[in-house]
Amino acid sequence: MKAIIAASSTTVPLATVSRHCHSPLNPSLPSISSALKYFPLSSRFAVAAPCSSLYYDRGFSRASVVKRSHLSTYMASAAVEPVEVLVKAATGEPEKLGDCPFSQRVLLTLEEKKVPYTLKLVDLSNKPDWFTEVNPEGKVPVIKHEGKWVPDSDVITQIIEEKFPEPPLQTPAEKASAGGKVFPCFVKFLKSKDSSDGTEEALVAELKSLNEHLKEHGPYIAGENVTAADLSLSPKLLHLKVALGHYKNWSIPSDLTYLLTYIETVHARESFTKTRAADEYIVAGWAKHLA
């Protein structure tokens, strides 16, 4: 397989889906589904390559085709060892990216920091032995850090922030809790079978509070720039929007204009569109919680 260099005006993922790659933890086993290597570059070129190696198509190697400055930018990013990340595969589609908002939070952090990573999809309905051996709790996301597999998106994103400090994503403490209660309120309302139990009102109250925060401090949680709080909240808001729309025919009140604008803004970011699960997988992912 040859590597391909494609002109692009936006950040594009590097590399491939290989259905025949082997697990780095146990080469005798096929990977759970697929291995994806991403090199999120700020340069104007994306390089697609086999999962086992990276090399250039000779047809694009001449300076007349690829400017040295662009290659230098690429080589600087490629010099960073890709972070190994295990995330959820889609329900019923183990070779598609799944609907876990905590996994997306980690991927968003890597994308926003332009950190290369290797993505592996784990079928949580049929967990392979090697996965439960390295991660007994059997949960995702998980990254490999200093030779050890580390779970928990809170811990993982802190590790990424410390190891790759640029651009800084830490949210100021006084703003970090904004929207923090939205997700648990959403889950309670989604699971509720009693329209008079107050779960809808509790969710709307939290959304109104978030709307007021954004009105005063927006466009993002901490102001003009996206921070860790946005990368944590935005996948959860996607789940809220999709799941409540499907299962309850419910939508965020139209008068919460600052919140609606915020959702549109964060969900349009390139990092988000590259790492989000399809709506159908979000719907399928919540089905088992509502049975």
What CATH number does the domain located at 182-290 have? 1.20.1050.10
Asked about 100 being catalytic, the answer comes back as yes
Query: What is the 3-state secondary structure of the chain?
Result: CCCEEEECCCCCCCCCEECCCECCCCCCCECCCCEEEECCCCCCEEEECCCCCCCCCHHHCCCCCCCHHHHHHHHHHHCCCCEEEEEEEECCEEEEECCCHHHHHHHHHHHHCCCCEEEEEECCCCCCHHHHHHCCCCCCCEEEECCEEEECHHHHHHHHHHHCCCCCCCCCCCCCCCCCCHHHHHHHHHHCCCCCCCHHHHHHHHHHHHHHHHHHHCCECCECCCCHHHHHHHHHHHHHHHHHHHHCCCCCCCCCHHHHHHHHHHHCCHHHHHHCCCHHHHHHHHHHHHC
Average pLDDT, the chain: 80
pLDDT in tens, 62-86: 333 333 333 333 444 556 799 999 9
Q: What is residue 88's predicted lDDT score, i.e. its pLDDT?
A: 97
Q: Where are the domains of the chain?
A: 4-163, 182-290
Residue 131 pLDDT class (50, 70, 90 cuts): very high
pLDDT surpasses 80 at 1:
no
pLDDT surpasses 60 at 181:
yes
Range 249-254 average pLDDT: 98
pLDDT surpasses 80 at 118:
yes
pLDDT surpasses 60 at 168:
yes
Q: What is residue 54's predicted lDDT score, i.e. its pLDDT?
A: 25
pTM of the model: 0.76
pLDDT in tens, 4-24: 333 333 333 333 333 333 333
- Which architecture, in CATH terms, is 4-163? 3-Layer(aba) Sandwich (3.40)
Q: What is residue 78's predicted lDDT score, i.e. its pLDDT?
A: 53
Of 21, 51, 100, 185, the active-site residue reads 100
